[in-house]
C-alpha cells in the first residue's frame, strides 16, 4: 500500500517485502499485514520474554504470531486468534512449523483468552473487553489500538500490577475495527484527544465508580488520569 492505494510489485522478489511497507492480506477488505516499523516498536514496548504465554488477537496470516513465538520460546506459547476464516486457514498453514503456536479461528471478544503474560491486539477497540484485562497475569502486559473516537487512535500499553491496570499511551496508531469491541454503548463518555493522551490507568466499574479523574467511561470499565492506587 502506497498513499492509501495498493500497488502490485513488479515481481515476487522478497526485496519488495522486506521494507517498511503495508502488504495486503485481503485488499478488498482493507486488511494488511501491519507496518514493520510499528510492530518493531510495539514488540519492543511489550518486551516478550522466554517462557511467556501470549494471546495474539487479530493474527491475520500469522506473520507476527511467528515472530512472537520465537521470542517466547523455551517454554512459551502463542494462542493466535483470527476471526476471518480464510486468514485463519492461511495462518494455520503458515504456522504449522511453529510447535508453540495454536491458531484459534473465531472472535477473541467472545472467546475466552488463556491466562496470559502478553496480549497483543491488532484490531482497533473503543475499549478493551473486561475479559482481556482479567486474562492478564500479574505483571502481564497488553498492547492494543485504542480507537475511542474518529479523532483518536493510540497504541496503548497496559501493565497489570497487584494494585490495578496501569496505562501508558505510546504513539498514534490506526487499525481496522475489532468486531464486537468497536461500538460504544449509548451511556459511554468518550475522551477528547487530550484526555486520551492523559489517561494513566484502566479501572473496573464493578470495583470502583468513576470519579473526577475519569477521562473516558464505558459500561464495564473507565479510564483515569491517575495511576492505579497503591
Residue with grid cell 495511576, as numbered in its chain: 227
**What are the pLDDT tens digits along the chain (230 aa)?**
887 889 899 999 988 888 888 898 998 888 888 889 999 999 999 999 999 999 999 999 999 999 999 999 999 999 999 999 999 999 999 999 999 999 999 999 999 999 999 999 999 999 999 999 999 999 999 999 999 988 899 999 999 999 999 999 999 988 989 999 898 888 899 999 999 999 999 999 999 999 999 999 999 999 999 999 88
Domain map (residue ranges) of the chain: 30-184
Q: What are phi and psi of 49, to 5 degrees?
A: -125, 150
- Whether the Cβ atoms of residue 202 and residue 228 lie closer than 8 Å to each other: no
Q: Which residues pair with 155 in a beta bridge?
A: 145, 171
Q: Say what the pLDDT of residue 186 is.
A: 82
CA 65 to chain CA centroid, Å, is 12
Please tell me the distance from the alpha carbon of residue 137 to that of residue 117, in angstroms, as a whole number: 6
Please tell me the distance from the alpha carbon of residue 144 to that of residue 121, in angstroms, as a whole number: 5
Helix (H, G, I), strand (E, B) or coil at 121: strand
Give the long-range contacts of residues 163-167, CB within 8 A, separation 24 or more.
163/228, 163/229, 163/230, 164/201, 164/202, 164/203, 164/228, 164/229, 165/133, 165/136, 165/201, 165/202, 165/203, 165/228, 166/200, 166/201, 166/227, 166/228, 167/199, 167/200, 167/201, 167/202, 167/223
130 closest CA partner among 222, 225, 208, 228: 222
- Taking CA atoms, 90 is separated from 21, 67, 75, 114, in Å, by 20, 16, 25, 22
- Whether the Cβ atoms of residue 203 and residue 221 lie closer than 8 Å to each other: yes
Q: Say what the pLDDT of residue 156 is.
A: 97
Helix (H, G, I), strand (E, B) or coil at 195: helix
Q: What fold characterizes domain 30-184?
A: Rossmann fold (3.40.50)
Overall pTM > 0.85: yes
Amino acid at each position: 500500500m502506497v498513499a492509501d492505494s495498493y500497488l502490485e510489485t513488479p515481481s515476487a522478489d522478497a526485496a519488495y517485502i522486506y521494507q517498511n511497507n503495508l502488504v495486503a492480506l485481503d485488499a478488498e477488505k482493507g486488511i494488511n499485514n501491519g507496518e514493520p516499523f510499528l510492530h518493531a516498536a510495539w514488540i519492543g514496548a511489550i518486551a516478550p520474554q522466554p517462557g511467556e504465554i501470549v494471546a495474539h488477537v487479530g493474527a491475520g496470516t500469522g506473520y507476527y504470531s511467528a515472530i512472537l513465538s520465537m521470542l517466547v520460546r523455551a517454554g512459551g506459547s502463542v494462542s493466535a486468534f483470527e476471526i476471518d476464516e480464510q486468514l485463519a486457514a492461511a495462518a494455520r498453514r503458515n504456522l504449522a512449523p511453529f510447535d508453540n503456536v495454536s491458531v484459534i479461528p473465531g472472535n477473541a471478544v467472545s472467546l475466552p483468552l488463556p491466562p496470559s503474560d502478553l496480549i497483543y491486539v491488532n484490531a482497533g477497540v473503543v475499549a478493551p473487553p473486561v475479559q482481556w484485562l482479567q486474562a492478564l497475569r500479574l505483571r502481564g502486559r497488553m498492547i492494543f489500538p485504542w480507537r475511542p473516537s474518529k479523532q483518536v487512535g493510540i497504541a496503548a500499553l497496559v501493565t497489570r500490577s497487584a494494585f490495578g491496570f496501569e496505562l501508558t499511551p505510546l504513539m498514534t496508531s490506526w487499525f481496522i475495527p475489532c468486531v464486537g469491541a468497536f461500538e460504544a454503548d449509548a451511556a459511554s463518555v468518550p475522551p477528547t484527544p487530550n484526555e486520551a493522551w492523559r489517561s494513566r490507568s484502566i479501572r473496573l466499574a464493578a470495583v470502583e465508580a468513576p470519579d473526577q479523574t475519569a477521562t473516558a467511561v464505558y459500561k464495564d470499565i473507565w479510564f483515569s488520569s491517575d495511576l492505579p492506587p497503591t
